[in-house]
């Protein structure tokens, strides 16, 4: 039976485990620098993002990390999914779709106008999954990032 539950502070180590596996899957484990303390602070003390789990018989099978964004053109909030990940042994059972549907339900309940996310271009199985849900690629936009020393330098200008 599929259930969902909101993560609590007691889940910090489990969240770290899931996201470390995601970083490995995405071939980005060398960039994974977060700690339990950081997750605890940002998710449960400062409440800057939320985590929900999809569970099979009370065992966590996947998770989604999300937070609010805002459209100044539409005048409403949206939900941005930072990560959506299902453990390999639970894939192809509909858990990813169920988790995505749950995020959509949360967005509707909270009067959000959209759900947004990114997907690595090489990740064909995930791209195909998102397209199968009716997601559309935003071909008129490109994600840009300022980080690290460039961010620090920019702040000092």
Other CB atoms within a 10 A radius of the CB of residue 112 amount to: 20
Do 87 and 79 form a contact (C-beta atoms < 8 A)? Answer: no
- Kindly list the catalytic residues: 130
**Contact criterion met (CB below 8 Å) for 123 and 26:** yes
* Alpha carbons 80 and 106: distance in angstroms, whole number: 12
Nearest to 80 by CA among 53, 48, 42, 109: 48
Contacts of 81 (CB under 8 A, 6+ apart): 64, 65, 66, 100, 103, 115, 116, 117
Question: Could you give the CA distance from residue 43 to residue 4 in angstroms, rounded to a whole number?
Answer: 18
């Amino acid at each position: 039976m599929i259930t969902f539950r909101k993560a609590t502070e007691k889940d910090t180590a489990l969240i770290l485990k899931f996201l470390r596996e995601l970083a490995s899957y995405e071939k980005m484990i060398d960039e994974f620098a977060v700690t339990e303390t950081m997750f605890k602070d940002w998710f449960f003390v400062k409440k800057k993002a939320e985590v929900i789990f999809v569970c099979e018989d009370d065992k966590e099978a996947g998770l989604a990390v999300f937070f609010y964004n805002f459209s100044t053109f539409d005048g409403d909030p949206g939900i941005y999914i930072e990560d959506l990940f299902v453990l390999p042994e639970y894939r192809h059972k509909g858990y990813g779709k169920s988790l995505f549907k749950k995020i959509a339900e949360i967005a509707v309940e909270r009067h959000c106008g959209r759900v947004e996310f990114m997907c690595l271009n090489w990740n064909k199985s995930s791209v195909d999954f998102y397209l199968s849900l009716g997601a559309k690629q935003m071909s008129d936009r490109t994600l840009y990032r300022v980080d690290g020393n460039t961010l620090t330098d920019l702040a000092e200008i």
